[in-house]
Structure 1
Amino acid sequence: MQNLRTPSRSASPKGDGAPVVTARRTLPCAPLAACSAADRGKPMNITQGARAGMLALGLCMLAACGGGGGGDDGGGTYAPPASGGGTPPTPEAYPDVPATDAEAARFLTQATFGPTATEIARVRQIGYKRWIDGQLAQTPTLILPHLQQLVANGVTTPTPQNRRNYWLWQTANAPDQLRMRMAFALSEILVVSDRETADDDATVFRIADYQDTLSRGAFGSYRTLLEKVTVHPAMGYFLSHVGNRKADPRRNITPDENYGREVMQLFSIGLVKRNKDFSPVLDANGQTIPTYDEQVVSAMARVFTGWTYAGQTDAQFGRGDNTSYAPMECHPAFHDDQPKQIFDGIVVSEGNNCTASMTRTVQALADHSNTAPFISRQLIQRFVTSNPTPQYVERVAKVWDTSKGDLGQVIRAILLDTEARLPPPNGSFGKPREPLVKLATLWRAFNAQYVPNAMGEVRFAFSNAGDLANSLQQDSQRAPSVFNFFEPDYRLPAADGVQGMFAPEFQILTEATYLSMLNQHDSLVWNNAATPPTTTPNAPYLDLTKLTTMAEGNDHAGMVAQVNLLLFHGALSSANAQAMVGMLDRLGTAKETAANRAKSLVLLAMATPEFAIQR
């Protein structure tokens, strides 16, 4: 079994609390316009068709994508300035109702798994605030009931693919888009993974219920959610505090420290003390101040003793149970009943009542001054920008404090903040799009359609559909460790090994993974069926009718404009737009079909720097 209980990362030698990462080789930078200009003189191989021409251009754009996050390729040290560059933006009034489709699409790019024509029109009609109000009121889309229905329909054993594919399909179709996006973000902070055991089929309900726990709690109290996560058996198994016993030196038993450490380091207060703007608190010598030490970790481990799977007796305490998804239960006989001094000198002294000890500790974590900026900054990274200014973090953290960690109010503050809504202020603004978000955005943009099988299963049959982590480096609840697919403090490498700006998602992007992602997109776009499905297809059908109709009329500029709105919220550069029109013109001259021209455009759009980076 793969070891997921990864030892904690040490703090950076620079004392900034960021894990030490190894610099990757960066790619040479070349604009798409230059690539396409050079390509114009090459004859098109019609036997390979539009796909070959598109892939040639896409590969050329890899160089541009490598610097798409606005990294400093010119050398020197990058450190996000206090204002993120230039004059710090200040909260100011902006129209609640977007003036253009592009503004509405940009908002939806941040708040959902991708804009649709219908939602763009809705946001333009009711404005940002009312749209958020409507989303906060939406009923959660849940995964476990779907799997239970499959069993009722005759599916003997739902599999992890059933869960992953159903969740992914809901990201493209469910009405509670903001909740699903928030739960997805939380799943990358409060991480569990279905890699947890070799018996994946048995644990599928447990992982699904954990996913639903995050969905239900996505707009509620973070303190409440942290408690539910703490006693969930998926987390109990993943970070090994299920069956955790008080120390017994005679039997060489010592409480497991995994959860006690990670609930601090990753789920709440982080490694060093922070100001509200996430800047580190410094001591008299200019050094960062740790939030805890090994003695605190040991004390925290003792706090989380006495918990095991629901329904077990004392005699069964800690016995394996892959099928349980009910909250873990407290067994006082196995809880350390001595006082425990945790962080900030707080003493947890609740006797053998493991529920009271856990409740007291979770409350202390939620109340810690670090938690608001630590989690707020990560949520901003997941929705808006990898390098939020200190002012942005502080404004959101203040909403966290005044609302007592109400995640609904926090996400409202994130999305309505001036820095999110006004045009990007500087080169460091924005974030790489996550691989799963790219896929969902494609399906949402082109009204993807799918017919479940007779049993009601959403079980895709395209390449890597069973485990998209193979091609996209990411799949639902399938991170390789508790540190997620990528870390919030991963930085782009700059010259001479110096770390540049934060770009978490780039931690999983290399030359090899870029190509595997492009090939996965190719398999979904190029193999798109000619007509909507009437039976279960291998992959969702993309409705490219509008693009195909425009291609038939040689309206190549119109095709690019349509893709620009849905995939780029109007942010496609003029040079790249011209290059796309030029490609379509050449394919038209070569008598390529209208359908193939539409597919070529979509696939090339997904390979561009502007699609790689959400700004």
Structure 2
Amino acid sequence: MMLSRRNFLKVFGVSGLSFSGLATTLAKAPPGTFAPAQIGERDPIQHIINRLTFGPQPGLYDYISQIGVDEFIERQLDYESIQDNETDHRLQAFPLINEHGGDLIADMDNNRRRVLIDLIGSWLTRAIYSNRQLYERMVHFWSDHFNVYINKGPVLFLKLDDDRDHIRPNAMLSFIDVLRASAQSPAMLFYLDNALSNDFAPNENYGRELLELHTLGVNGGYTEDDVKAVSRVFTGWSITNFREPNSPPGRFIFRRVAHDSREAIVLGEVIPANSGIDAGYQVLEILAKHPSTAQFISSKLIRRFVADTPPQSLVDLCTQVYLDTGGDIKSLLREIFRSDEFWQAPPKFKRPFEYVVGLLRVLNYDVQRPRRFYETVAYLLISMGHLPFNWPAPNGYPDVGRYWMDNLLPRWNAALAAMFYDEDDTSPDYTGLVAMLQNAGVINDAEAALQFMARYMLGRELTGDELTITFEFMRGSTDDLWEQLILGTVLILASPAFQYK
């Protein structure tokens, strides 16, 4: 997002604010100020909003307050019952997400930019507007877990199918469902070099990552012999090309002629000879049922929703739930969300995508020209190192705060830009923010209004020191109360507290 000085001056009539002024204010803040809400002061509803959704949005807190936290969790788990017509309408701006990627490869050069905008734009649209917030978070989780890199060959095009047909339909089912879907994803098979793997020259990339990153984990108890055996089993799992007589390009195909049909032994279990494609299905079942997989998947889910260092007590509990339910994803999530460890979790640093989407949600953006706007947002995410599907390694973007904490300058710039953006008929919902303050009866009281915004955005009020710092920042450029509140809100959005969830 580019901050428009013309619109900044036109809308706010102030000239003293700058990026350096914001950065200086935050840098000079005493240690401990603008800290994220701690366990003892955390609002349960705000905690649920921060962990199950992409952040606060007008009306969401009141909605959860009315139906209760437990009911909100259950409704989010039952995502298919949630009406989401507005999101579906907004997605019409991205028609290529309904196309098969293989059909677009023939004109790759002309289609690449359009596909990228549609893919990233649809992800941003769903994260910002969808009522199925937990479902979207799980789509993001599995897209990291089964990571593919869109800058390798035609993977960008094949990712359209991977997202629509492989990840999304299985994101809340059982682990074997999403594992099997990924194993037959043309994007995955090309990315990990399995499309050309054959009985004469089996490629071990997919077999190794299937064991190390998708199922058992690096310490899951497999051997090099297991890697070789699994790689042989998956020879012939491939992708159609332009020379296929009866099938369009870019679809999954099992090439029996390229398959190593000999007997294989995986983790001590015999895969009979001449089993064809069923040999691969059998291996996936073995891996999905393994205790190491149960522990590995449980740990990653807990890291995503609870803490960078998953509490072992919760890992053990979820591992047993996984084994008891056959890897049922909803059962695992339900166990996590009702655990003491979840409710006592330390603050977790937002990854850049979460932070940017959180800005747009909390400011209630109504994006009118989504293709142009989201292309701008995509460049912002690139500057932050977190454009979706742009991580080259198969392990997916890091899910620990220490990786992201050293790149705060683009976030501060994003907070300024989000607050003052006014291009393409798109801007923050100032009318809605005013209405919120009026309904709360604080529109004419600077301190009360600021505390209201802090509770809405941070889940807690500002301390005395934080109020002093914020008022100095607010009043340095203008005497107008509303303009001061806008500046104070910028500081809240750029503060360390809003970087956490």
Shift of 1:346: 2.0
Q: 2: CA distance between counterparts of 1:601 and 1:242?
A: 54
- Counterpart check, 1:178 vs 2:178: no
TM-aligned CA distance change 1:605 to 1:350, over 3 Å: farther
- Counterpart check, 1:241 vs 2:194: yes
Query: Secondary structure at the residue paired with 1:347?
Result: strand
Segments of 5+ residues of structure 2 without an aligned counterpart are: 1-13, 100-109
More helix by share: 2
TM-aligned CA distance change 1:60 to 1:233, over 3 Å: farther
Alignment of 1:419-430 (within 5 A): 419-421=341-343, 423-424=344-345, 429-430=346-347
Q: Tell me which residue corresponds to 1:337.
A: 261
Shift of 1:374: 0.8
Shift of 1:306: 0.5
Deviation digits for residues 62-87 of structure 1 (CA, Å, limit 9, x no counterpart): 987999899xxxxxxxxxxxxxxxxx
Q: 1: CA distance between counterparts of 2:55 and 2:225?
A: 46
Q: Aligned pair count? A: 465
Q: 2: CA distance between counterparts of 1:227 and 1:149?
A: 22
- Counterpart check, 1:109 vs 2:50: yes
Alignment of 1:431-510 (within 5 A): 431-452=348-369, 458-460=371-373, 463=376, 465-486=377-398, 504-510=400-406
Q: Tell me which residue corresponds to 2:409.
A: 515
- Counterpart check, 1:189 vs 2:137: no
Q: 2: CA distance between counterparts of 1:191 and 1:65?
A: 37
- Provide TM-score, normalisation by structure 2: 0.82
Kept in 2, the 8 Å contact 1:111–1:178? The answer is yes
Identity of aligned residues (%): 21
Kept in 2, the 8 Å contact 1:472–1:520? The answer is no
Opposite residue 138 of structure 1, the aligned amino acid is Y
Q: 1: CA distance between counterparts of 2:263 and 2:33?
A: 54
Q: Tell me which residue corresponds to 1:491.
A: none
TM-aligned CA distance change 1:559 to 1:466, over 3 Å: same
Opposite residue 470 of structure 1, the aligned amino acid is I
Q: 2: CA distance between counterparts of 1:377 and 1:515?
A: 31
Alignment of 1:75-86 (within 5 A): none
Q: 591, 598, 607: which one pairs with 2:478?
A: 591
Shift of 1:178: 0.8
Shift of 1:366: 0.5
Q: Tell me which residue corresponds to 2:493.
A: 606
TM-aligned CA distance change 1:610 to 1:461, over 3 Å: closer
Kept in 2, the 8 Å contact 1:50–1:592? The answer is no
Kept in 1, the 8 Å contact 2:450–2:485? The answer is no
Q: 54, 72, 79: which one pairs with 1:131?
A: 72
Q: 2: CA distance between counterparts of 1:359 and 1:469?
A: 38
Query: Secondary structure at the residue paired with 1:308?
Result: strand
C-alpha RMSD over aligned residues:
3.6
- Counterpart check, 1:120 vs 2:61: yes
- Counterpart check, 1:48 vs 2:16: yes
- Counterpart check, 1:351 vs 2:247: no
Opposite residue 210 of structure 1, the aligned amino acid is D
TM-aligned CA distance change 1:350 to 1:580, over 3 Å: farther
Alignment of 1:4-403 (within 5 A): 47-49=15-17, 52-60=20-28, 102-139=43-80, 146-148=94-96, 157=111, 158-197=114-153, 203-204=156-157, 206-212=158-164, 213-247=166-200, 254-273=201-220, 291-310=221-240, 324=250, 326=251, 328-343=252-267, 345-351=268-274, 353=276, 355-403=277-325
Q: 543, 546, 568: which one pairs with 2:458?
A: 568
Shift of 1:506: 2.3
Kept in 2, the 8 Å contact 1:50–1:596? The answer is no
Deviation digits for residues 346-391 of structure 1 (CA, Å, limit 9, x no counterpart): 22224250x2111011101101101122111111211221123211
Q: 1: CA distance between counterparts of 2:381 and 2:58?
A: 30
Q: Tell me which residue corresponds to 1:282.
A: none
Opposite residue 351 of structure 2, the aligned amino acid is E
Q: 2: CA distance between counterparts of 1:114 and 1:102?
A: 14
Deviation digits for residues 115-172 of structure 1 (CA, Å, limit 9, x no counterpart): 2232211211222232122223334878799424898xxxx84330222022112211
- Counterpart check, 1:528 vs 2:421: yes
Kept in 2, the 8 Å contact 1:337–1:350? The answer is yes
Q: 1: CA distance between counterparts of 2:320 and 2:467?
A: 41
Q: Tell me which residue corresponds to 2:11.
A: none
Kept in 1, the 8 Å contact 2:411–2:494? The answer is no
TM-aligned CA distance change 1:338 to 1:234, over 3 Å: same
Q: 1: CA distance between counterparts of 2:280 and 2:33?
A: 46
Opposite residue 411 of structure 2, the aligned amino acid is M
Opposite residue 330 of structure 1, the aligned amino acid is F
Query: Secondary structure at the residue paired with 1:49?
Result: coil
Query: Secondary structure at the residue paired with 1:470?
Result: helix
- Counterpart check, 1:541 vs 2:447: no
Deviation digits for residues 41-63 of structure 1 (CA, Å, limit 9, x no counterpart): xxxxx743365533321344698
Q: 1: CA distance between counterparts of 2:30 and 2:115?
A: 36
Opposite residue 61 of structure 2, the aligned amino acid is I
Shift of 1:262: 0.7
Q: 2: CA distance between counterparts of 1:105 and 1:69?
A: 10
Kept in 2, the 8 Å contact 1:193–1:478? The answer is yes
Shift of 1:255: 0.9
Deviation digits for residues 545-585 of structure 1 (CA, Å, limit 9, x no counterpart): 4656869966332233233223222275554344324433x
Deviation digits for residues 291-326 of structure 1 (CA, Å, limit 9, x no counterpart): 122222111211110022247778999xxx9x62x4
Deviation digits for residues 388-423 of structure 1 (CA, Å, limit 9, x no counterpart): 3211212222222222111112112222222222x4
Shift of 1:474: 0.6
TM-aligned CA distance change 1:541 to 1:348, over 3 Å: same
Query: Secondary structure at the residue paired with 1:351?
Result: coil
Q: 2: CA distance between counterparts of 1:65 and 1:242?
A: 53
Opposite residue 110 of structure 1, the aligned amino acid is R
TM-aligned CA distance change 1:116 to 1:334, over 3 Å: same
Kept in 2, the 8 Å contact 1:245–1:305? The answer is yes
Kept in 2, the 8 Å contact 1:111–1:415? The answer is no
TM-aligned CA distance change 1:543 to 1:481, over 3 Å: same
Kept in 2, the 8 Å contact 1:341–1:348? The answer is yes
Query: Secondary structure at the residue paired with 1:266?
Result: helix
Q: 1: CA distance between counterparts of 2:170 and 2:33?
A: 36
Q: 2: CA distance between counterparts of 1:177 and 1:408?
A: 14
Q: 2: CA distance between counterparts of 1:144 and 1:307?
A: 33
Shift of 1:507: 1.3
Q: 1: CA distance between counterparts of 2:408 and 2:447?
A: 28
Opposite residue 349 of structure 2, the aligned amino acid is P
